[in-house]
Homo-oligomer: A and B are copies of this chain.
Amino acid sequence: MERRPAAAVNVGGVVIGGGQPIVIQSMTSSKTDEVGKTLAQVKRLAAAGCQLVRVAVPDRGAAKALDTLVGASPVPLIADIHFDHELALAALEAGVSKLRINPGTMSLKALNSVVARASRLGVPLRVGVNSGSIHRDYQHLPRVEALVKSALYYCQVIADLGWDELVVSLKSSSVTETYLATEQFAGQSLYPLHLGVTEAGTIGSSTIKSAIGIGGLLLRGIGDTLRVSVTGPPESEIPIALGILRALGLRRGIDIISCPTCGRSGYDVAAVAQEVEDRLGSLELPLKIAVMGCVVNGPGEAKSADFGIAFGPGGGALFKKGQVVAKMANDELLYALLQLIDEEARQRN
């Protein structure tokens, strides 16, 4: 699928859009003015693979904390502002790398002052429209149309004020609405897009909703940055985000393909696949590893894998780039596979 062309927006050195790899972001859940706790959370997020971190700025205390946080954070910070444009101005002074505003919660005059300051400082904005804050002129419309028109309207207002370093999101707690609104907006604009499903729920629920909504758009070539939203610790969002990108070949990493253990298999494939995943999950080599339980799909699927093993009734086979490189007892396959990958990792380093 060809990627939708989008303008490049530089967020403190991390580029969103412009054909760059898709950027993973998250948001702290600590109270922002508890600087120690917030900074610890930012560092945990960064260590997990989060490239941009957003912090809520609901009051003066939070805005003041930004002075310290911006200097100490290992990744660029984004300030999340609603209602109060004075807080947006304070965040800009503190040196944040991007502002997320929900223009539906501000007067045009307030928006004007924020845009003027951001433009002068060269700080990009995210225009975040969600179904809870549709522009009042569009509230009578069907939800998807209302989201698209609100987003287009606010982008135009800001562009008319002379600033177009914008990233745009259209979010709803309905996966289908989020998908349709984002797709429709994508066809009418060149601004880079931030993907996410709001209020996606607990880890299990969010994994499903986010994978469908975010993944469904990425499959159409749409999206430049993403956030998986989980009701829970923000660090838990990053493996899901990485999983979505890896599943689509958009991020390096081990991709383990393993078959359901059907009646054809005489071997505990699930346990072996889990062990491979546990041992190699954090490896950043872009390798496809096949763990197959039988000869029906085994050799065929293993052809597309870099390395693979297939268990068989009388013994199994070890594959490398679609070729059988050794036959051996089933019990020896896992060890042989791990050894092969270990050699590969050393050669590439």
A216 to B105, CA, bound (A): 32
Instruction: Report the minimal beta-carbon distance from A133 to chain B, rounded to whole angstroms.
Output: 6
- Which of B200, B240, B264, B297 lies in contact with A208, CB distance below 8 A? B240
A residues contacting the other copy or chain, number (CB 8 A): 85
Given A219-B216, A249-B176, CB of A301 within 8 Å of CB of B202? no
What string of 1s and 0s marks CB contacts (under 8 Å) between A240-256 and chain B?
A: 10011001110000001
Tallying the copies of this chain within the complex gives 2
A265 to B31, CA, bound (A): 8
Interface SS, A side: mixed
Given A207-B211, A244-B208, A299-B132, CB of A262 within 8 Å of CB of B199? no
Q: Is A8 an interface residue (CB 8 A)?
A: no
List the B side residues contacting A303 at CB < 8 Å.
Answer: 132
List the B side residues contacting A263 at CB < 8 Å.
Answer: 28-32, 38, 55-56, 58, 62
Q: Is the Cβ of B304 less than 8 Å from the Cβ of A273?
A: no
- Which of A14-22, A152-160, A230-238, A335-343 lies on the face that meets chain B? A230-238
A30 to B262, CA, bound (A): 7
What string of 1s and 0s marks CB contacts (under 8 Å) between A158-186 and chain B?
A: 00000000000000111110011000000
What string of 1s and 0s marks CB contacts (under 8 Å) between A103-145 and chain B?
A: 0010000000000000000000000001111000000000100
- Which of B209, B237, B260, B277 lies in contact with A247, CB distance below 8 A? B209
Q: What are 24 A-B residue pairs whose CB atoms fall within 8 Å in the complex? A: A1-B176, A27-B260, A29-B260, A29-B261, A29-B265, A31-B263, A31-B266, A56-B262, A132-B300, A132-B303, A172-B304, A173-B301, A176-B248, A198-B297, A200-B258, A208-B211, A208-B215, A212-B244, A212-B247, A215-B216, A229-B259, A231-B273, A232-B260, A232-B261
List the B side residues contacting A68 at CB < 8 Å.
Answer: none
Q: Is A269 an interface residue (CB 8 A)?
A: yes
List the B side residues contacting A290 at CB < 8 Å.
Answer: 173, 199
A interface residues, Cβ below 8 angstroms from B: 1, 27-32, 38, 55-56, 58, 62, 80, 82-83, 102, 105, 130-133, 143, 172-176, 179-180, 198-202, 204-205, 207-209, 211-213, 215-216, 218-219, 229-232, 234, 237, 240, 243-244, 247-249, 256-266, 269-270, 273-274, 277, 290-292, 296-301, 303-304
